[in-house]
Amino acid sequence: MRERAGSLVLVATPIGNLGDLSPRAAQALAGAALICAEDTRRVAKLLRHAGITAVRVVVANEHTERERIPDVLDTLADGGDVALVSDAGTPGISDPGERIVRAVLDAGHAVTTVPGPVAAVAALVVSGLSTARFVFEGFVPRSGTERARRLAAIAAEPRTVVLYEAPHRIARTIADLVAACGPDRQVVVARELTKLYEEVQRGPLGEIDVGTPRGEYVIVLSGAPPSHEPPDDDTIRQALRHELGQGAGTKEAAAAVAERYGIPKRTAYSLAVGTLKER
């Protein structure tokens, strides 16, 4: 074993435009003793573009990622760096990578990254929707209860939601989102980002028309508006008990809770009186 063990480097690659391959990404690929790639033809194109030759490439896709682990660990122990790339964008994001990262960390080696393109973030930042808080849902399950449950959770999610979708399922997913969220929820459908036919549609869900879907899509959905449902009495009583327990008087506690939940002071006051009687 050499004195210095190598590092696993997660290298982000373009999501369409080869010009987005960063100099540091090219350097990491050129300097690697081994490149783990989701698809050898795709990586060969990238390596040709960057003028890189004579690097050993092995396939690490969703079926073979686990099998690659011994080769990766041996290379690292021998002092070589291993670059991990997926077909496009950032490895590990709806792409293989997670298993190799876990195995490398468990073996005590370093994991680092050359960050770069990721379709979810590219779509989010051009969406015009809130970027302050967002969640990434990847691909929604294709069918059944799991799909229905996930769509219901997405519909109730207050943060901006980013989804990936395949072209042959995009129309169906938009229709299901209309059913789950209603037609008025704002959405952005970003297609073929960074490519020749890049297109971004923005508007209410009910007005999105994907036509004949072609290429790659990201859906960015505005978060659910705050619920206007009044809180139930138990929630109010619990808040009142807390205020009273902190030493507030009945009126004071009722006023504070009424303001917090947007309910009439009278309602809060009578619940506060009831709460005091229970004590």
Provide the binding-site residues for ligand SAM, judged by CB under 6 A: 15-16, 86, 88-90, 93-95, 118-120, 164-166, 190-195, 216-218
- Cβ closest to ligand SAM, residue 31 vs residue 138: 138
Q: Minimum distance from CB of 126 to ligand SAM (Å)?
A: 11
Strand, helix or coil at 213? coil
How far, in Å, are 110, 138, 266 from residue 85 at the CA level?
A: 17, 18, 62
The kind and range of the H/E element at 189 are strand 186-191
The answer for residues whose C-beta is within 8 angstroms of residue 236's C-beta and 6 or more apart is: 257, 261, 263, 267, 268, 271
Q: Minimum distance from CB of 16 to ligand SAM (Å)?
A: 4
Q: Minimum distance from CB of 198 to ligand SAM (Å)?
A: 7
- Cβ closest to ligand SAM, residue 10 vs residue 73: 10
Residue pointed to by tokens 């967002």: 134
- Cβ closest to ligand SAM, residue 5 vs residue 12: 12
- Cβ closest to ligand SAM, residue 164 vs residue 269: 164
Region of residue 108 (left: phi > 0; alpha: psi -120 to 50; beta: else): left
Written as one letter, the residue type at 93 is I
Q: Minimum distance from CB of 139 to ligand SAM (Å)?
A: 7
Strand, helix or coil at 269? helix
Q: Minimum distance from CB of 173 to ligand SAM (Å)?
A: 11
Instruction: Tell me the C-alpha distance between 192 and 80, whole Å.
Output: 36
Report yes or no: 60 and 36 within 8 Å, Cβ to Cβ.
Answer: yes
Q: Minimum distance from CB of 114 to ligand SAM (Å)?
A: 13
Burial class (CB in 10 A: 0-12, 13-18, 19+), 233: exposed
Crossing angle, helix 233-245 and helix 265-278, to 10 degrees? 70
Residue sitting closest to ligand SAM (CB): 89
Q: Minimum distance from CB of 232 to ligand SAM (Å)?
A: 40
The Cβ of residue 177 has, within 10 Å, a number of other Cβ atoms equal to 24
- Cβ closest to ligand SAM, residue 99 vs residue 265: 99
Strand, helix or coil at 25? helix
Q: Minimum distance from CB of 201 to ligand SAM (Å)?
A: 12
Instruction: Tell me the C-alpha distance between 122 and 12, whole Å.
Output: 13
- Cβ closest to ligand SAM, residue 73 vs residue 93: 93
- Cβ closest to ligand SAM, residue 8 vs residue 218: 218
- Cβ closest to ligand SAM, residue 189 vs residue 257: 189
